[in-house]
């Protein structure tokens, strides 16, 4: 076994690898960019090496700097995590040339399966069902139009070296194709250093179900059951679970057998994931293979009792797999949600800044329920615009799926983040959604259930009473502590008067959460009251003395500023392109500009017909939230 390994990554996955290495007695080396000098993974590792400026293309994606960091630190092997260089054949080759072990599959497997185009060709040769499409690289826009026309819309434009939703666009009509190609190429180049694209048919009503495989250097390959990853937004996974609520034992066995067969075809010898599209009738089609550890690997670990990072380390060190296929367990149900630094109330735009408060729920096992939180941040740390917006991966495990969902609801209610916007309310709303609870999900779930965006889980009568009672109870307790009057209070929720009754609460003034009626309610002070949230629902409760409420009702309403004459930058980011010029007439739906933030390109389109008056930003500008990009006549 290795004495020291280098982790060529950052964030939560780097921290997660450190934990297993530490348990195995292996020393760890972190690498960091200028933006990550004070990051948690740097603090957790035994030593750390600086590798360059903040942009990933100048640090985490520079192979020579990673190899040099290995030489400088004496690391014998490198774990690449996911993303960055994890599926780059050239990286594995450079490490081998330097006498450093790559903790991942052999170079041939990376080349054949890590490349989405080559993997499809291999799957076809092995008689594995694949999604209809053109098995080859797009030459130019005209070539893409011919392919898409032959296949039939909708189609998917995908980066050959892609993953994590980067470099992927669904195109419903020809007029969208060229912009999709440009954005996919730009994202792929920035994230993977490879802008090759291909096109395949987009299967309607699909479910995304993947099989985890594990191999060693002695020809042994097994599968570790499946993960359902159908809850996605913009083709990026949001919620994952194991096992899938769709599959039966026979389908699981058939999918696993195909995944193992495909892996054995390239002598696969590490952790990898074979992804399938599955229709409602349980027909499955090979989509691609990821030759690395997946973001969602914890749900597999929770349902099998295995440590996938440990298995990768042992395989890389030449050890045989410690179990056979018949030994693989499937116990209980696990769910993972990705907590992102994004604002679900503003079209999920990225949110950057300082984590003023970061208080995750308590981890560990209790009453047959396990809570796990993989993270790479800490209270007081900074969420950077340069990298993926993930804050944490929160997981729950229980004997039954319904119990795991209930545990996740409680854990999300207990998760407190202040200083930036986050998607916890959105995640909790999905946990409460009847369709999700019933397992009737597809990759279009979010688009179908939230077609106009997320506006919070609606408050029913019981929720209104609960929030109003919580606000009143908090106000009374606060007044009692100050020795003030505790009569004649009036409660309103978002302007609506509610007849509330005080309840016993477990809360003290200044605390950010209270327990009432067996639930956790989070509250943050606002002028005259609190912002309350629970179960994906959120409201503002104002508590006033009766006379103060009467006077407040006479105050004129404050009107929102008119922003129809300007295009504001919706998030801190870098201007990729300005697509219009002064005096140009633009139709609704046409692209005005493209802004990149957290490795994703955001296309800003006109929501109505406009004439451009002036351009206030240019390509390459770094803009803050609500900076003016252009003005309209």
Residue pLDDT, tens place only, 396-426: 999 999 999 999 999 999 999 999 999 999 9
Whether the per-residue pLDDT at 20 is higher than 70: the answer is yes
Report yes or no: 544 and 489 within 8 Å, Cβ to Cβ. Answer: yes
Report yes or no: 271 and 258 within 8 Å, Cβ to Cβ. Answer: no
Which H or E run includes 626?
Answer: none
Q: What angle do CA 492, 515, 436 make, to 5 degrees?
A: 85
Q: Which of 535, 548, 543, 550 is nearest to 500 (CA)?
A: 543
Using CA atoms, how far apart are residues 579 and 423, in angstroms rounded to an integer?
A: 30
Using CA atoms, how far apart are residues 393 and 166, in angstroms rounded to an integer?
A: 19
Instruction: Map out the domains of the chain with their CATH numbers.
Output: 4-103 (3.40.50.20), 132-201 (3.30.1490.20), 209-449 (3.30.470.20), 461-552 (3.30.700.30), 566-632 (2.40.50.100)
List, in sequence order, every residue forming a beta bridge with 227; answer none if it has no partner.
210
Using CA atoms, how far apart are residues 365 and 381, in angstroms rounded to an integer?
A: 28
12, 87, 226, 288: the catalytic one is 288
Six-digit token pair at 566? Answer: 């300007």
- The string of pLDDT tens digits covering residues 203-259 is 778 999 999 999 999 999 999 999 999 999 988 999 999 999 999 999 999 999 999
163: left (phi over 0), alpha (psi -120 to 50) or beta: left
Q: What angle do CA 370, 372, 374 make, to 5 degrees?
A: 170
Report yes or no: 24 and 3 within 8 Å, Cβ to Cβ. Answer: no
Q: Which residue has the tokens 């739906």?
A: 589
Instruction: Kindly indicate the confidence band of residue 551, based on its pLDDT and cuts at 50, 70 and 90.
Output: confident
pLDDT value for 275 = 95
- The string of pLDDT tens digits covering residues 464-512 is 999 999 999 999 988 888 776 667 799 999 888 898 999 899 999 889 8
- According to DSSP, residue 147 is labeled H
Report yes or no: 633 and 586 within 8 Å, Cβ to Cβ. Answer: no
Between the CA of residue 478 and those of 486, 511, 516, 543, what are the distances in Å? 9, 11, 16, 12
Q: Which residue has the tokens 């397992």?
A: 439
Positive or negative: CA dihedral 373, 376, 381, 387: negative
Instruction: Kindly indicate the confidence band of residue 522, based on its pLDDT and cuts at 50, 70 and 90.
Output: very high
331 carries an active-site annotation: no
């Amino acid at each position: 076994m290795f004495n020291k390994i280098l982790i060529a990554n950052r964030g939560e996955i780097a921290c997660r690898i450190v934990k297993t290495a530490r348990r195995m007695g292996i020393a760890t080396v972190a690498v960091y960019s200028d933006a990550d000098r004070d990051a948690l993974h740097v603090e957790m590792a035994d030593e750390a090496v600086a590798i360059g400026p903040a942009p990933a293309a100048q640090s985490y994606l520079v192979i020579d700097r990673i190899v040099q960091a290995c030489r400088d630190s004496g690391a014998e092997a490198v774990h690449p995590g996911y993303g960055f260089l994890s599926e780059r054949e050239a990286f594995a080759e450079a490490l081998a040339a330097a006498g450093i072990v790559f903790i991942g599959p052999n170079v041939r497997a990376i080349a054949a399966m890590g490349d989405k185009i080559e993997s499809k060709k291999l799957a076809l040769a092995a008689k594995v069902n694949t999604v209809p499409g053109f098995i080859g690289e797009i030459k130019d826009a005209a070539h893409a139009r011919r392919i898409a026309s032959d296949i039939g819309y909708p189609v998917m434009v995908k980066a050959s070296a892609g993953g994590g939703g980067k470099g992927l666009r669904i195109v419903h009509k020809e007029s969208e194709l060229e912009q999709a190609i440009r954005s996919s190429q730009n994202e792929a180049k920035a994230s993977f250093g490879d802008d090759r694209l291909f096109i395949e048919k987009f299967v309607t009503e699909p479910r995304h179900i993947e099989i985890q495989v594990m191999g060693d250097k002695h020809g042994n390959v097994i599968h570790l059951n499946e993960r359902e990853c159908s809850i996605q937004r913009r083709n990026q996974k949001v919620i994952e679970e194991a096992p899938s609520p769709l599959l039966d034992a026979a389908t699981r066995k058939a999918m696993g057998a195909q995944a193992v067969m495909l892996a054995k075809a390239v002598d696969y010898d590490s952790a990898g994931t074979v992804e399938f599209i599955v229709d409602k009738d349980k027909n499955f089609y090979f989509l691609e293979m990821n030759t690395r550890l997946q973001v969602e690997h914890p749900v597999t670990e929770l349902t099998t009792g295995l440590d996938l990072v440990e298995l990768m380390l042992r395989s890389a060190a030449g050890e045989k797999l410690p179990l056979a296929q018949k030994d693989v367990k499937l116990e209980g149900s696990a769910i993972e949600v990705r907590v992102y630094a994004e604002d679900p109330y503003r079209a999920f735009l990225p949110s950057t800044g300082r984590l003023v408060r970061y208080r995750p729920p308590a981890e560990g096992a209790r009453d047959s329920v396990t809570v796990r939180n993989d993270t790479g941040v800490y209270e007081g740390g900074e969420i950077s615009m340069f990298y993926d917006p993930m804050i944490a991966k929160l997981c729950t495990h229980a004997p039954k799926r319904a119990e795991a969902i209930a545990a996740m609801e409680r854990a999300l209610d207990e998760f407190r983040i202040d200083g930036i916007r986050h998607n916890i309310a959105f995640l909790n709303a999905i946990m409460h959604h009847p369709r999700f609870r019933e397992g009737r999900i597809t990759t279009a779930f979010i688009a179908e259930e939230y077609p106009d965006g997320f506006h919070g889980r609606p408050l029913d009568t019981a929720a209104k009473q609960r929030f109003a009672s919580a606000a009143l109870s908090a106000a009374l307790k606060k007044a009692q502590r100050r020795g003030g009057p505790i009569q004649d209070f009036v409660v309103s929720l978002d302007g609506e008067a509610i007849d509330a009754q005080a309840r016993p609460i477990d809360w003290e003034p200044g605390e950010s959460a209270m327990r009432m009626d067996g639930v956790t309610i989070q509250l943050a002070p606002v002028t005259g009251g609190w912002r309350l949230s629970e179960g994906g629902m959120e409201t503002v409760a104002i508590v006033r003395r009766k006379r103060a409420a009467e006077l407040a009702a006479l105050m004129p309403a404050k009107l929102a500023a008119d922003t129809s004459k300007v295009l504001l930058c919706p998030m801190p980011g870098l201007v990729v392109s300005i697509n219009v010029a002064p005096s140009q007439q633009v139709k609704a739906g046409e692209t005005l500009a493209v802004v990149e933030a957290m490795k994703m390109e955001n296309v800003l389109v006109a929501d109505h017909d406009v004439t451009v008056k002036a351009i206030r930003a240019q390509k390459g500008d770094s803009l803050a939230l609500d900076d003016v990009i252009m003005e309209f006549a």
